Every structure is written in structure tokens, then in C-alpha cells.
Amino acid sequence: MRKKVIFILICIFALAVIVISPFIGSTRIPLSSLRDINLTSVESQIFYSLRLPRVLTAFLAGAALSCCGVALQAMFRNPLATPFTLGISSGAAFGAAMYVIFAASLRIPFAGIIFSFIGSLAAVLLVYGFTKVKKGFSVGTMLLAGVAVNFFFSSLILFLQYVSDFTQSFRVIRWLMGSIDVSGFQTPLVFLLFTAAGIAIIALQSLNLNLMSISDEIAISRGVNLSRSRKIIFFATSIMVAVVVAYCGPIGFVGLMAPHICRLLVGFDNKILTAASVLFGGAFLALCDTFARTLIAPAEIPVGVITSMLGGPFFVWLLLRSSRSNNL
């Protein structure tokens, strides 16, 4: 009963953030402007063309990253497993940087997402390949391999910045900070398409994730095909991370914080944990973005800076807590 009440409160919190956040900003938006769907006033243009699409994009990006965090932490049985720590975000960032520097003129639909997806998939294959050097699967080995892959792709991004011209290098640096800068509803619709697909895939794997979070032996004894489930989860997380990185840049720590906070609130069952993390993570990133664009208005801070400022201390606390519990 308590978990149901908390989940309902999380739903209310997420809805409140989506409804209230578009009204917060340097320009006051009166309620009467909502009726102006033809966008004849400046306030209605700001609300419908800028703020509402941005809040929706932030919510969907946070939902995607949080869903990835839930799946990876359960699969690796490690509280520090996220797209960021496993190198998936860095791989996607490298792919997107390649697109920005060498292929931005291409008129291919979803070209940025395609490049990011290839990069994230390359990171996954590298991490997974490292674990096959030794016989058997080691969760700790894969996590350490992810850290190594993260450094590898980060160095490649630095190399791309060095060989590119000043304008391209500045674009990459600004994009690497993580920013939700959208206008119109095209980007939220693209996010909705890919994020909904990824979340649905992870949700269908929730029972397998429950078993995998206990031990591989128990999962196998219950009929779980570990290799197949891991590939499906890696594929779904790669899709969602690619979309987020392609449009917003690498936004860190959302996939770390939201699942852990929700785990304290609703427990370890991945069925309810995934849904709660999706809602809470989406609302959390939307709030962070609202704070980022209003703190020094009319200028704004990249939202990745805000999440990193919050996530750094959280990561240290989690590291100390996990060390005491012998989880690392």
C-alpha cells in the first residue's frame, strides 16, 4: 500500500513539473496566452514554440536516461552502472562529434541519431568484447572495461576537437556540456518515438532483470537466456542514449541518481521501479533545465553542468555507501 501511495505521489510530482515549468522564465506567461493557439502574441510563441517543447524534451531525455540506469544497474548488480560509467554515453558522444565535424551538411533523416547509435553500439561491443577475453562473464570486469572505454572515446573526442577548426571545436565543446536547446515539437516527437520504444523493451525485460539482479545462476535456473537478454538490454539502452546524446549532448548522473532515489522509495521490483524512475528522472531533468535557464536569465547554464554539480557529490556518497556494503 505504501509503495502505491509513493508511486502516485511521483506521478503527481511529474505532472506538476510538466505543467508548471513552462510558465517559469524571464518572460511572464499569462494563462490567457494559452488560448492563443495561432501564436499571434509573443507570449504564446514563447510558450508553445520554446518552453513547452523544451520541457517535454527534458522530461523525455531524463526518462530515457533513468530507464537505462535501472536496467544496467540490475543487469550488472552494481549501483554505479550507468550509460555514463560504462562508456555508452562517451561512444555516442564520439559518434555525434564525428557527425558535427564531418557530416553536419548531410541531409539524411536522423543522421545525428544514426552516428550516435553507431558510436554507442561500438562502445557496447568493446565492453562486451573485453569480457570475452577471459572465459566466463564477470560483472566487475565489464564495469572496469566500461570505464576504460569511456576514457578511450573521450580521448578520441579531444583529438577531433584538436584537428577541427575553431568554429567546429567550439560547437563540440558547447554541445559536450549538455544542453536542451530546442524549438518546435519535432524534437519532442522524435524523442517520444525512440524513448517509448526503448522503455517498452526494458519494461518487457523487467522480470528477467529481477532475476538477473539476484544472480546469474538463479536467472538461468528460471529459464532466462542471459546472452539474449543482455543483448536486448544493450540494444535498447544504446537507442535511448543515442537519441539523448544526439540532441542534448552527454548529460551525466541522471541515470545514476533517479534509480537510486526511486529504489529507496518503491523498492527493488523492476516492474514498479522502472516506471517510477522514468517519471522521477524525467521530472528531475526538467527541473534541472528550468533552473539552468532561469538562474542567470536571460542567459542560461548548460543543464549538464547542473546535473554534474548535483551528481558528483551523490556519486561519492554512493561509492562510500557501496564500499561499506562490499558491493564494489
> Is residue 100 predicted with pLDDT exceeding 80?
yes
Q: What are the start-end ranges of the E strands in 19-147?
A: none
> Is residue 108 predicted with pLDDT exceeding 80?
no
Nearest-angstrom CA–CA distance, 52 and 182: 10
32: DSSP letter: G
Helices (H), 77-185: 88-102, 111-131, 139-163, 166-176
| pLDDT interval class at 257 (50, 70, 90) | very high
Nearest-angstrom CA–CA distance, 201 and 205: 7
- What are the grid coordinates assigned to 232, written together? 536486448
Q: How far is CA 202 from CA 54, 70, 93, 231, in A?
A: 25, 9, 22, 12
Tell me the Ramachandran region of residue 30: left when phi exceeds 0, alpha when psi lies from -120 to 50, beta otherwise: beta
> Is residue 105 predicted with pLDDT exceeding 80?
no
> Is residue 328 predicted with pLDDT exceeding 60?
no
Residues 6 or more apart from 110 whose CB is under 8 A from it? 190
> Is residue 322 predicted with pLDDT exceeding 70?
no
Q: What are the start-end ranges of the E strands in 152-271?
A: none
| pLDDT interval class at 262 (50, 70, 90) | very high
Calculate what percentage of the chain has a pLDDT beyond 90.
Answer: 55
Say if CB 140 and CB 81 are below 8 A apart.
no
Q: What is the pLDDT of residue 240?
A: 95
> Is residue 326 predicted with pLDDT exceeding 60?
no
Which residue, among 178, 195, 167, 161, has the nearest Cα to 68 in the 3D structure? 195
Pick the CATH number of 64-322 from 3.40.50.300, 3.30.2020.30, 1.10.3470.10, 2.60.40.1180: 1.10.3470.10
> Is residue 279 predicted with pLDDT exceeding 90?
yes
110-159, pLDDT tens digit by residue?
Answer: 888 899 999 999 998 888 777 667 665 566 777 788 888 999 999 999 99
C-beta atoms surrounding 318 within 10 Å: 18
Say if CB 327 and CB 78 are below 8 A apart.
yes
First and final C-alpha spacing in the chain: 33
- Taking residues 154-172, report their average pLDDT: 89
Calculate what percentage of the chain has a pLDDT beyond 70.
Answer: 94
> Is residue 71 predicted with pLDDT exceeding 80?
yes
Nearest-angstrom CA–CA distance, 79 and 318: 8
Q: Is pLDDT larger for residue 28 or for residue 211?
A: 211
> Is residue 102 predicted with pLDDT exceeding 90?
no
Q: What is the pLDDT of residue 42?
A: 85
> Is residue 285 predicted with pLDDT exceeding 70?
yes
- What are the grid coordinates assigned to 286, written together? 526538467
Residues across the chain: 328
- What are the grid coordinates assigned to 99, written together? 557527425
Q: What is the pLDDT of residue 138?
A: 64
Q: What is the pLDDT of residue 323?
A: 61
C-beta atoms surrounding 95 within 10 Å: 26
213-256, pLDDT tens digit by residue?
Answer: 998 889 999 999 998 999 999 999 999 999 999 999 999 899 99
C-beta atoms surrounding 324 within 10 Å: 9
Q: Which range, of 12-16, 160-164, 287-291, 311-315, averages the lowest pLDDT?
A: 311-315
pTM over 0.85? The answer is: yes
Q: How far is CA 290 from CA 16, 185, 241, in A?
A: 13, 18, 22
> What average pLDDT is seen over the chain?
88
Say if CB 255 and CB 281 are below 8 A apart.
yes
